[in-house]
Structure 1
């Protein structure tokens, strides 16, 4: 997901360090150092804010001058699936893996053309028309209250609801929070404009507390954060990288203090360990804002559900995919489908604009990104 300019900057830096003059035909990629790039062009490409299709494809590493110096090594087996089943189910695993690859390559479009809809197999769909979202929650989080009582931290490590947009993720998280017994606690942020913007041309009178409180940006918590003991949360900032407390780490809330929140880690080497999370000053990196502001809040969010982009790189035994709106960029549907370790661990809920159930959904694939790879 890194922009090609990151690699090109590293290439120029290493050539400077190794004293290779690119202008005198002494250029060698990365200054002669061996560099291994790991990734999958079928998955989500570099994120370009408000970028067009050509902008996104043009930002990938295979659109760089470095690509002609790269040797492509292909991985051909879906180890996530093969390591999760017995030999008796190998044929079903193989078929499921092939179906996922067809989705990733855009070969299942049922109406022709790119970015059209694909039919989802019936056994993967939620078919309860009365309470479809509740049915999806029950599949993804069975016996949730019992596991909360038993403090089974591994329970939340093994499952997640995925959705393409922050709005749908927030709706699911709020619904599931209401299902958890216990007293809720509200934490409000302290928002202010950054000092560097005091002399800007934008009228400072616009920056009322109400205006700043209403801003919602990717990567920072909302002004109003409501939690209960026992709910799963996710870190939105790197707190202790060497200790494994990074952006995306999932935890279970154990204490709700006034100035700190106690939580148990559920993923990684520190699973089961208790940590304390303080409030932090957070500045969003959203380029769409014409000014900079600072939000002092706990760097966490509820994570019964998470965005598809946030789930990239994870392997989960149980995945519920909630699609009230279709995916909107290359590889999102493939990433969501390929997070699961087995076919039986996946259920999909697709809704039309009027809220009725659908059997097909949009699959966005930028096929031109594969031109010089496969």
Structure 2
């Protein structure tokens, strides 16, 4: 998902640095050093705000001048599905793995360019007709009221959805069902001290009530409600050396007034306890016509998360909630391929009239594979 400009900047920097020792290095990619890129172009491509399909493809590494100097080494075994599996179900695993690859490459569906509707097999669908959303929750989080104290319970499961608004609805619903007393944390919001907005007119226009109402992607809300034992996700890099990075999942163990104690659920520091302070965060969204900072705990409840946030994670139980269809290349492939077994995923799909269905959109930019 990294933009090609980041790699090109690294290429120029290494050429400049290494040419000091040997001038010939300035002509070699990355100054003559071997660089290993890891990734899968079936998955989500770089995010280009308000970008077209062409903009997104052009931002990918395979569209860079560096790509002509790369040698592609292909991995052929789905290790996520293979680890821990028995020899008796190898055929089923291979069949499921092949189906995932076909989705990722746009080889299933009703459109030759990769964008079309695909039919999800019946055994992967939620069958609860009375309350399908609760059926999805029960599949992913069975006996949640009795098992929430088990650290591994939350680290191995999640509900995925394409959009943040749906994720917030699921998180709020599960938080209401969760046992324990709610603790509310309110942020301190203020305008950034720039000359343009220090004008008294701007101060009145963007008063604290207005700032508190702003909801921005990647920023915690003004009102953060938590309970003991609730799983949360970090929204900022706090301490990368100790595994506290953007996207790290944790479980709340103590709710203090100034700090929150939590246990790490994902990454290389699983089981470690850490303290999360309030920090000041400035949103990077350029659509906001003013700059403000929000002082709040950089976390959000994560019973559910967006498909983009789930990329790179391996889970035992995944529920995919498609109230709205996926909208970007590779999202459906990423969501379906998070699980370690084919029995660990269930999909709930609604059509435009709000009725459960077995068909959904699959967005694939097939032109991205022409450069591999």
Residues 1:176 and 2:174 are matched in the alignment: yes
Structure 1-normalised TM-score?
A: 0.95
Is the 8 Å Cα contact of residues 18 and 26 (structure 2) preserved in structure 1? no
Is the 8 Å Cα contact of residues 328 and 363 (structure 2) preserved in structure 1? yes
Tell me whether 109-118 or 355-364 shows the greater mean CA deviation: 109-118
CA-based RMSD of the aligned residues comes to: 1.9
Alpha-carbon deviation of 1:113? 4.7
Tell me whether 191-200 or 156-165 shows the greater mean CA deviation: 191-200
Cross-structure match for 2:314: 315
Cross-structure match for 1:345: 344
Deviations 1:109-156 (A, max 9, x none): 1355531110000000012222001000000011111112xx210111
Q: Which residue among 146, 152, 156 is the counterpart of 1:154?
A: 152
CA separation in 2, counterparts of 1:166 and 1:186? 21
Cross-structure match for 1:363: 362
CA separation in 2, counterparts of 1:197 and 1:77? 57
CA separation in 2, counterparts of 1:60 and 1:257? 43
Residues 1:49 and 2:49 are matched in the alignment: yes
Tell me whether 170-179 or 182-191 shows the greater mean CA deviation: 182-191
Specify the SS of the correspondent of 2:88. helix
Cross-structure match for 2:210: 211
Deviations 1:257-314 (A, max 9, x none): 2111122222234333322211110111112222221000001000100000000000
Cross-structure match for 2:278: 279
CA separation in 1, counterparts of 2:39 and 2:57? 15
Is the 8 Å Cα contact of residues 189 and 223 (structure 1) preserved in structure 2? yes
Alpha-carbon deviation of 1:200? 8.0
CA separation in 2, counterparts of 1:174 and 1:254? 19
Aligned length: 369
CA separation in 1, counterparts of 2:161 and 2:195? 35
1:118-267 equivalence runs, <5 A? 118-148=118-148, 151-196=149-194, 198-199=196-197, 203-267=202-266
Cross-structure match for 1:302: 301
Cross-structure match for 2:85: 85
CA separation in 2, counterparts of 1:227 and 1:197? 37
Deviations 1:74-107 (A, max 9, x none): 0111111111311101000000000000000111
CA separation in 2, counterparts of 1:32 and 1:178? 56
Alpha-carbon deviation of 1:204? 4.1
Deviations 1:41-92 (A, max 9, x none): 1100000011110100000111111111111110111111111311101000
Instruction: List gaps (5 residues or longer) in structure 2.
Output: none
Is the 8 Å Cα contact of residues 129 and 356 (structure 1) preserved in structure 2? no
Cross-structure match for 2:13: 13
Deviations 1:172-207 (A, max 9, x none): 000000111211111111111111354589944321
Alpha-carbon deviation of 1:25? 11
CA separation in 2, counterparts of 1:269 and 1:26? 37
Is the 8 Å Cα contact of residues 16 and 26 (structure 2) preserved in structure 1? no
CA separation in 1, counterparts of 2:198 and 2:73? 50
